[in-house]
Chain A
Amino acid sequence: AQSVTQLGSHVSVSEGALVLLRCNYSSSVPPYLFWYVQYPNQGLQLLLKYTSAATLVKGINGFEAEFKKSETSFHLTKPSAHMSDAAEYFCAVSAAAGGTSYGKLTFGQGTILTVHP
């Protein structure tokens, strides 16, 4: 069984400030981890993914995330927030290859990021 917890349903930062969105996961098998972003009236767009290669993963729009197995975390960061980063962000987990899951994603509850000028 897998689950994801995102700490903080709302995060507010100033433009230019560090963005940190927290994600902790639980998985009985080696996980693959994903961050998706959703802009208003749009579908979910993949930001980045961890698939058991490098633990520090770089994604689009300057975001990156670090897989820490000891902490069961996969926090999303960006050094300098931009107004266009305002959106809802979802962390998700799936079972790694060899599991019985056919790619099913289990999502966290989402974090709404607000960026102030």
Chain B
Amino acid sequence: EPEVTQTPSHQVTQMGQEVILRCVPISNHLYFYWYRQILGQKVEFLVSFYNNEISEKSEIFDDQFSVERPDGSNFTLKIRSTKLEDSAMYFCASSRQTTYNEQFFGPGTRLTVL
């Protein structure tokens, strides 16, 4: 059964460093998403991506964040200069279509910023 994969499973970084979180969506999916969950809080939407551009982004997704689909299979989230408050579980998801189509989630990357 196809699945969304994410690497690494756990990333530890120093404040101010750049991190890149990687995701491989399901191959025939067209819509891609990043969500995050700070410990003890809700899963929050960060950004959606379609046709090589951002479709929608939340207030959280400021200039420190960027997304890219560099090679037609990977989907990456970059945080340019990490802050302590960026520590969270980051989930990638993909779907064939928007709205009612199921979003398939990856297992997440736990980011710890020291």
Q: Chain A residues in contact with chain B, CB under 8 A?
A: 32, 34, 36, 41-46, 49, 51, 90, 92, 94-97, 99, 101-110
* Contact residues in B for A105 (Cβ distance below 8 Å): 33, 35, 43, 45, 103
- Given the known A-B contacts A43-B4, A103-B48, A107-B42, are A96 and B91 also in contact in the complex, defined by CB atoms under 8 Å? no
| CB nearest neighbor in A for B102 | A46
A113 to B35, CA, bound (A): 22
User: Which single member of A34, A49, A104 contacts B56 (CB below 8 Å)?
Assistant: A104
Q: Is B18 an interface residue (CB 8 A)?
A: no
The answer to whether A104 touches B48 (Cβ under 8 A) is yes
| CB nearest neighbor in B for A46 | B102
How many chain-B residues does the 8 Å CB contact rule pick out? 29
The answer to whether A102 touches B91 (Cβ under 8 A) is no
Shortest 4 CB-CB distances between A and B: which pairs?
A103-B98, A43-B105, A102-B55, A51-B100
Q: Is B28 an interface residue (CB 8 A)?
A: no
Q: What are the interface flags for B23-65 relative to A under an 8 Å C-beta threshold, 1 for contact and 0 otherwise? A: 0000000010101000001111100101000011010000000
* Contact residues in A for B91 (Cβ distance below 8 Å): 43-44
A43 to B58, CA, bound (A): 21
* Contact residues in A for B33 (Cβ distance below 8 Å): 103-105
* Contact residues in A for B95 (Cβ distance below 8 Å): 103
* Contact residues in A for B50 (Cβ distance below 8 Å): 102
Question: Other CB < 8 Å A-B pairs besides A44-B43, A105-B33, A106-B45, 16 of them?
Answer: A32-B99, A45-B105, A46-B103, A46-B104, A49-B100, A49-B102, A51-B99, A95-B99, A99-B99, A102-B56, A103-B31, A103-B98, A104-B56, A104-B58, A107-B35, A109-B41
